[in-house]
């Protein structure tokens, strides 16, 4: 059902966005609403015993205990003594990784089932729509969410589509069931802004309206940044939702997530960011990142990539299996490589996608061990979302988001056994009622039969 | 003069003496037994498999040490548009649909053996593929099987199945089944005289050429199967009923809710082309889709063929990953490999391929490890005993930009 992806990409297109708490004192602006209301109950003490641990920091521990206290990782070590009330999870013979993070998802905004009535991922009515926020489209009962949980996804970033030069704000969510989007929002995660290069924005608006060419795209970005600069410098200007978002980028509060396939377009986007003095955090899809890997590393820009998708459009024609590895190894291993899904299918097995990218890199002569490759789906996306101080690695003080796998997660045969979010079991393979079905799935097969 | 003699000698040798290959000490999965045979040798003469056994004490032109490697038959894609498309979104690079013909549209002349997708998917592990027409109509046309050798003579079997859909034109699926029934009945009565078509009063918008009706005739005579994508349990039953009434060979594609009607699929001997990776309830017609589908269908005795996602022609070889996922959800490994090989050739009557059998073409792959594992690669690929080139455009791009310290 990659057609979900194709559908969104080709006909509605994809972009991304973010939300700001900017420091300006413009009349009417408030930073105390739209906040996360996610507040997990206390996990108590949990001890994950004896697993083979890929920490996400670049280390592999052959047998380690992980002690969680009150939703947070308290200690990682050998033979940690539990207190009497500690819940013990035996992970001997299993593998343990940080919770998997997908930096490019459309869960909730392009949901399953995919119906005209819930195709809410792209405001493809104008090339410049930084005022729309993906979180205002999220359907919390999307059936893709529990499937992603079963695949080890604990945090994901929902982006608007790519039909626009500026597609709107993205939102980072914890993969927890909630009646409200606010109840899923990753607390105090920075907002993001989706921008898009190339074929998608230039195709959507017809031949009589800009942009219809790549140079039209670039003129459109620059014109919008000029307005944003004026707005930033004039606190008396009437409040404008579009410019609020762009101003947040110029203030360094909103992170740019930039859909961009071609090497030369990434170079131009970097020039534009220098002209207007903002930072590009991540290039998404980045099929040709391997051609400009050093440039990305020099500029401190991450690339979020697939392991092997290609050929659906011209700008995706030059795919190489080694793309992720080449970005990772750029400039003496200082590159920031991310494996993303952009798909309700791929998000269920980012571990396999990372495995393919690792194997291809190693066949090309690199020596990339699992303990490094796991960062592509944990630490690096956390960094590119501005939440690496709280998730992405298994370290003291981090949120206790972790996955226990029945075997080597870099194998097609590996399955998750237990997924913990903030120290609380959200998926347990031995529980037939897990993961919790969405509202949509209740009784949908028959009056007595849920989906899953 | 010496050059002439040498030339003659070589030519004579090629003419009189066969070329032989001996693969030594491999783990061999033939497809004819459930298990993998350890330390087995495969002897190939003139591109055909001559012997498979332990310790073959034979001389050969080329001996390949395959110790520690797995050898299987080359994988066969049961459904893709390989050779018919370069870039999905660009109609000018696609050659896979017709608005003029329906059932009679044969893609056999459209296949381009020089497509960039062919060496790429070959190196992913596919040695042959069924390429199919695409379209939104009741019938999209006839598919053919091709070798992925990249050579001009790639056609293996022409017009081997008819492809149709009951989801055409925004009609109720029931209306489309009625239309199919009318057209099949019309065809049954059709003896080559186009005037006769008028007697059968199809809705006005439906025009069928002689070529279309002749293609349907081959389905009615059970010469070729009729492939229909369908997912909802009740729709699967309707299509099975239709195939019984019409007395045709049905192959179902998709079957997301197949597990709910596994017994009926088995009893009607309907093979199923699965895309095991697809478990999302993308519409109200596949709410019951789940990763256990393959294992449940197999348990019921249904013959399975495994495809990549049907929209993913560019990565058709990822049927391997889908098969691996099906195994992790309970499908036996050997059944998964059969679903990538012999079940495809047998369902579509592609001769002499799909298993390592004495007398068959030596389409075989030397794998560096378990072929269903995502970290494995095809090390050597042979089609009719000929070693295929391992390069692809993608690898050339990699090598242009790769900096090896």
Q: Is residue A24 part of a domain?
A: yes
Mutate to test the interface with B, among A150, A293, A311 (most CBs of B within 10 A): A311
Provide the 10 A C-beta neighbour count for residue B178: 14
* Nearest CB to B328 within list A290, A310, A412: A412
Domain that holds residue A249: 3-39+102-391
Which residues on B lie below 8 Å from A151 (Cβ)?
none
Of B283, B375, B401, which has the smallest distance from its Cβ to A291's Cβ? B401
Nearest chain A alpha carbon to B395: A320
> What residue in B sits closest to A115 (Cα-Cα)?
B283
| Contacts A6 to B, Cβ<8 Å | 88, 311
Contact A352 B374 (CB under 8 A): yes
Provide the shortest C-alpha distance from residue A189 to chain B (in Å): 29
Cβ separation of A411 and B288 shorter than 8 Å?
no
Q: Tell me, yes or no, whether A78 lies in a domain.
A: no
Burial class (CB in 10 A: 0-12, 13-18, 19+), A78: exposed
Nearest to A322 among B86, B117, B402 (CB): B402
Residues of A in contact with B278 (CB under 8 A): 1, 345
Residue A191 lies in a domain: yes
Please count the other Cβ atoms lying within 10 Å of the Cβ belonging to residue A417: 18
Distances (CA, A) of A373 to A50, A409, B226: 22, 11, 45
Least Cα separation, residue A259 to chain B (angstroms): 18
Q: ipTM score of the complex? A: 0.93
Which pLDDT does position A357 carry in this prediction?
98
- Measured in degrees and rounded to the nearest 5, phi and psi for residue B152 equal -60, -35
Q: For chain B, give every domain's residue range.
A: 77-355
Q: Which pLDDT does position B203 carry in this prediction?
A: 66
Q: What phi, psi does B55 have (nearest 5°)?
A: 45, 50
What are the average pLDDT values for consecutive 10-residue runs of chain A, which has 452 residues? 42 41 66 93 98 98 98 97 96 98 98 96 97 98 98 98 98 98 98 98 92 98 98 95 98 98 98 98 98 98 98 98 98 97 98 98 97 98 98 98 98 98 98 94 92 80
Q: B280, A143: Cβ pair inside 8 Å?
A: yes
pLDDT band at B18 (very low <50, low <70, confident <90, very high): confident
With a CB cutoff of 8 Å and minimum separation 6, the contacts of B153 are none
Cβ atoms within 10 Å, residue B300: 16
Specify which residues A158 forms β-bridges with. A105, A171
Give the integer Cα–Cα distance in Å for B340 and A33: 54
Tokens matching residue B289: 């889709």
pLDDT at B371 over 60: yes
Separation CA B155–CA B128 (nearest Å): 10
Contacts of A352 in chain B (CB under 8 A): 321, 374
Across the interface, whether the CB atoms of A411 and B374 are under 8 A apart is answered yes
Q: Which residue of A has its CA nearest to B254?
A: A1
Q: Say which CATH superfamily domain B77-355 falls into.
A: Metal-dependent hydrolases (3.20.20.140)
Question: Taking CB atoms and an 8 Å cut-off, how many pairs form between chains A and B?
Answer: 128
Tell which residue, B268, B325, B317, has the closest CA to residue B293. B325
pLDDT of residue A17: 40
Rounded Cα distance, B172 and B235, in Å = 11
Q: Contact A319/B394, CB-based, under 8 Å? A: yes
SS (H, E, C) chain A: CCHHHHHHHHHHEECCECCCCCCCCCCCCCCCCCCCCCCCCCCCEEEEEEEEEECCCCCEEEEEEEEEECCEEEEEECCCCCCCCCEEEECCCCEEEECEEEEEECCCCECCCCCHHHECCCCCCCCECCCCEHHHCCCCCCCHHHHHHHCCEEEEEECCEECCCEEEEEEEEECCCCCCCCCCECCCCCCEEEEECCHHHHHHCCCCCCCCCHHHHHHHHHHHHHHHHHHHHCCCCCCCHHHHHHHHHHCCCCEEEEEECCHHHHHHHHHHHHHCCCCEEEEEECCCHHHHHHHHHHCCCEEEECCCCCCCCHHHCCCCCCHHHHHHHHHHHCCCEEECCCCCCHHHHHHHHHHHHHHHHHHCCCCCCHHHHHHHHCHHHHHHCCCCCCCCCCCCCCECCEEEECCCCCCCCCCEEEEEECCEEEEECCCCCCCCCCHHHCCCCECCECCC
Residue A442: count other Cβ atoms within 10 Å of its Cβ: 13
Q: What is the 3-state secondary structure (H, E, C) of chain B?
A: CHHHHHHHHHHHHHHHCCCEEEEEEEEECCCCCCCCEEEEEEEEECCEEEEEEECCCCCCCEEEECCCCEEEECEEEEEECCCCECCCCCHHHECCCCCCCCCCCECCCCCCCCCCHHHHHHHHCEEEEEECCCCCCCEEEEEEEEECCCCCCCEEEEEEEEEECCCHHHCCHHHHHHHHHHHHHHHHHCCCCHHHHHHHCCCCCCCCCHHHHHHHHHHHCCCCCEEEEECCHHHHHHHHHHHHHHCCCEEEEECCCHHHHHHHHHHCCCCEEECCCCCCCCCCCCCCCCCCHHHHHHHCCCCEEECCCCCCHHHHHHHHHHHHHHHHCCCCHHHHHHHHCHHHHHHCCCCCCCCCCCCCECCEEEECCCCCCCCCCEEEEEECCEECCCCCHHHHHHHHHCCCC
Structurally, chain A folds into a number of domains equal to 1
**CA distances (Å), origin A319, targets A162, A310, B157, B232, B375:** 20, 6, 31, 35, 18
Mean pLDDT within B126-149: 96
Query: Which residues of chain B does A310 touch, with a Cβ-Cβ cutoff of 8 Å?
Result: 314-315, 394
Task: Copy the structure tokens of residue A378.
Answer: 């944990």
Chain B positions contacting chain A at CB under 8 Å are 86-90, 117, 277-284, 287-288, 290, 309, 311-315, 318, 321, 324-325, 327-328, 372-377, 394-395, 397-398, 401-402, 404
Give the pLDDT mean for B191-211.
70
Res. B9: pLDDT tops 60:
no
* CATH code assigned at A261: 3.20.20.140
pLDDT band at B189 (very low <50, low <70, confident <90, very high): confident
A interface test, pick of B295, B398, B399 with most A CB neighbours within 10 Å: B398
- pLDDT level of residue B170 (50, 70, 90 thresholds): confident
Residue A415 contacts residue A61 (beta carbons within 8 Å): no
Q: How many CB atoms lie within 10 A of CB A11?
A: 14
Flag whether A421 is in a domain: no
CB-nearest partner of B321 from A112, A358, A412: A412
Of the residues A289, A308, A432, the best mutation for testing chain B's interface (the one with the most B CB atoms within 10 Å of its CB) is A308
Between A10, A355, A451, which is nearest B288 by CB?
A: A451
Within a 10 A sphere around the Cβ of B299, how many other Cβ atoms? 16
**Cα(B133)–Cα(B103) distance, integer angstroms:** 10
**Averaged over B396-405, what is the pLDDT?**
86
Q: What is the pLDDT of residue B405?
A: 53
Cα Rg for chain B, rounded, in angstroms?
Answer: 23
In chain B, residues with a C-beta closer than 8 Å to the C-beta of A345 are: 277-280, 309
Distance between CA atoms of residues A86 and A69, nearest Å: 9
Query: How far is the CA of B367 from the CAs of A422, B23, B69, B76, in angstroms?
Result: 42, 13, 6, 16
Nearest to A363 among B318, B377, B394 (CB): B377
Q: Looking at residue B149, what is its pLDDT? A: 97
- Of the candidates A1, A311, A412, the beta carbon closest to that of B372 is on A412
* Inter-chain CB proximity A114 and B314 less than 8 Å: no
pLDDT in tens, B83-119: 999 999 999 999 999 999 999 999 999 999 999 999 9
Nearest residue on chain A to B403, alpha-carbon basis: A326
Residue A311 and residue B401: Cβ atoms within 8 Å? no
Residue A169 near residue A245, CB atoms below 8 Å = yes
Contact B315 A309 (CB under 8 A): yes
Question: Pick from B287, B376, B398: which is nearest to A444 by CB?
Answer: B287
Contact: B397, A320; criterion CB under 8 Å: yes
Strands B155-164 and B226-230: what pairing? parallel
Q: Of A7, A119, A290, A413, which to mutate for an interface test with B (greatest number of B Cβ within 10 Å)?
A: A413
Sequence-distant (6+) residues with CB within 8 A of A209 are: A127
What per-residue confidence (pLDDT) applies to B205? 63
Task: Give me the count of residues in chain B.
Answer: 405
Q: Is the predicted pLDDT of residue B367 greater than 80, yes or no?
A: yes
Using CB atoms, which residue from A143, A309, A320 is nearest to B281?
A143
Q: CB distance A290–B373 less than 8 Å?
A: no
Residues B238-295 have pLDDT tens digits of 999 999 999 999 999 999 999 999 999 999 999 999 999 999 999 999 999 999 999 9
Residues of chain A with Cβ-Cβ distance to B308 below 8 Å are none
Which residue in A310, A364, A445 is closest to B314 by CB distance?
A310
Residue B243: strand pairing partners: none
List residues bridging with B129 in a β-sheet: B77, B146
In which band, very low, low, confident or very high, does the pLDDT at B375 lie, cut at 50, 70 and 90?
very high
A112 to chain B: closest CA residue: B282
Pairing of strands A402-405, A337-339: unpaired
Give the N- to C-terminal CA distance of chain B in Å, as an integer.
50
């Amino acid at each position: 059902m990659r057609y979900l992806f194709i559908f969104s990409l080709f006909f509605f297109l994809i972009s991304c966005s973010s939300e700001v708490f900017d420091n300006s004192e413009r009349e009417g602006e408030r930073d105390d609403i739209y906040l996360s209301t996610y507040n997990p109950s206390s996990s108590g003490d949990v001890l994950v015993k004896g697993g083979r641990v890929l920490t996400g920091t670049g280390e592999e521990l052959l047998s380690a205990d992980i002690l969680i206290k009150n939703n947070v990782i308290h200690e990682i070590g050998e033979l940690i003594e539990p207190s009497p009330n500690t819940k013990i999870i035996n992970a001997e013979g299993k593998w343990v990784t940080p919770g998997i993070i997908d930096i490019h998802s459309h869960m909730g905004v392009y949901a399953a089932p995919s119906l005209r009535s819930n195709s809410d991922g792209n405001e493809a009515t104008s090339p410049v729509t930084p005022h729309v926020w993906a979180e205002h489209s999220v359907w919390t009962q999307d059936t893709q969410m529990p499937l992603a949980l079963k695949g080890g996804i604990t945090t994901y970033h929902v982006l608007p589509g790519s039909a626009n030069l500026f597609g709107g704000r993205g939102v980072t969510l914890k993969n927890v069931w909630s009646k409200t989007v606010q109840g899923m929002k990753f607390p105090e995660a920075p907002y993001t802004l989706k921008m898009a290069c190339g074929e998608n924005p230039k195709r959507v608006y017809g031949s009589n309206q800009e942009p219809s060419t790549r140079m039209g795209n670039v003129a459109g970005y620059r014109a919008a940044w000029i307005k944003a600069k004026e707005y930033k410098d004039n606190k008396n200007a009437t409040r404008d939702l579009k410019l609020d978002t762009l101003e947040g980028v110029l203030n360094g509060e909103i992170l740019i997530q930039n859909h961009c396939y071609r090497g030369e377009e990434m170079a131009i986007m970097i020039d534009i960011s220098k002209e207007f003095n903002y930072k590009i955090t991540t290039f998404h899809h980045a099929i040709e990142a391997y051609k400009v890997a050093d440039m990305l590393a020099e500029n401190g820009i991450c690339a979020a990539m697939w392991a092997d998708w290609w050929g659906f459009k011209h700008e995706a024609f030059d795919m190489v299996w080694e793309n992720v590895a080449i970005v990772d190894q750029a400039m003496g291993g200082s590159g920031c490589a991310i494996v993303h899904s952009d798909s309700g299918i791929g998000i269920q097995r980012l571990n396999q996608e990372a495995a393919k990218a690792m194997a291809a890199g190693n066949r090309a002569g690199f020596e990339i061990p699992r303990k490094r490759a796991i960062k592509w789906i944990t630490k690096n996306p956390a960094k590119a979302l501005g939440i690496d101080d709280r998730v992405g690695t298994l370290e003291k003080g981090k949120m206790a988001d972790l996955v226990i796998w029945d075997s080597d997660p870099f194998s097609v045969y590996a399955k998750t056994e237990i997924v913990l979010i903030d120290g609380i079991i959200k998926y347990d393979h031995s529980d037939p009622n897990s993961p919790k079905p969405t509202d949509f799935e209740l009784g949908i097969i028959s009056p007595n039969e849920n989906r899953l | 003069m010496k050059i002439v003699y040498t030339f003659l000698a070589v030519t004579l040798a090629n003419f009189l003496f066969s070329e032989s290959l001996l693969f030594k000490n491999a783990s061999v999965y033939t497809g004819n037994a459930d298990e993998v045979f350890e330390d087995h040798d495969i002897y190939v003469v003139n591109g055909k498999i001559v012997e498979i056994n332990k310790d073959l004490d034979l001389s050969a032109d080329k001996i390949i040490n395959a110790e520690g490697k797995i050898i299987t038959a080359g994988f066969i894609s049961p459904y893709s548009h390989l050779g018919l498309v370069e870039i999905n979104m660009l109609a000018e690079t696609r050659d896979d649909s017709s608005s003029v013909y329906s059932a009679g549209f044969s893609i056999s002349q459209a296949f381009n053996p020089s497509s960039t997708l062919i060496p790429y998917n070959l190196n992913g592990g596919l040695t042959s593929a069924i390429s199919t027409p695409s379209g939104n109509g009741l019938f999209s046309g006839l598919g053919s099987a091709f070798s992925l050798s990249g050579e001009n003579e790639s056609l293996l079997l022409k017009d081997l199945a008819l492809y149709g859909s009951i989801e055409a034109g925004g009609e109720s699926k029931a209306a489309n089944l009625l239309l199919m029934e009318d057209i099949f009945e019309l065809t049954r009565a059709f003896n080559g005289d186009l005037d006769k078509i008028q007697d059968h009063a199809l809705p006005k918008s439906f025009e069928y050429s002689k070529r279309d009706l002749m293609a349907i005739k081959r389905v009615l005579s059970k010469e070729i199967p009729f492939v229909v994508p369908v997912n909802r349990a009740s729709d699967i039953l309707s299509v099975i009923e239709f195939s019984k009434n019409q007395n045709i060979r049905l192959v179902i594609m998709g079957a997301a809710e197949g597990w709910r009607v596994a017994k009926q699929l088995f009893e009607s001997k309907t093979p199923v082309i699965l895309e095991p990776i697809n478990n999302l309830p993308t519409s109200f017609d596949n709410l019951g889709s789940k990763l256990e589908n393959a294992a449940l269908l197999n348990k019921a005795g249904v013959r399975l063929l495994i495809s990549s996602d049907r929209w993913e022609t560019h990565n058709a070889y990822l049927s391997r990953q889908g098969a691996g996922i099906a195994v992790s959800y309970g499908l036996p490994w050997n059944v998964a490999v059969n679903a990538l090989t012999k079940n495809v050739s047998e369902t579509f009557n592609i001769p002499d391929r799909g298993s390592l059998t004495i007398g068959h073409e030596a389409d075989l792959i030397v794998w560096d490890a378990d072929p269903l594992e995502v970290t494995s690669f095809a090390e050597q690929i042979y089609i009719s005993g000929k070693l295929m080139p391992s390069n692809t455009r993608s690898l050339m791009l990699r090598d242009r930009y790769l900096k090896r310290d």
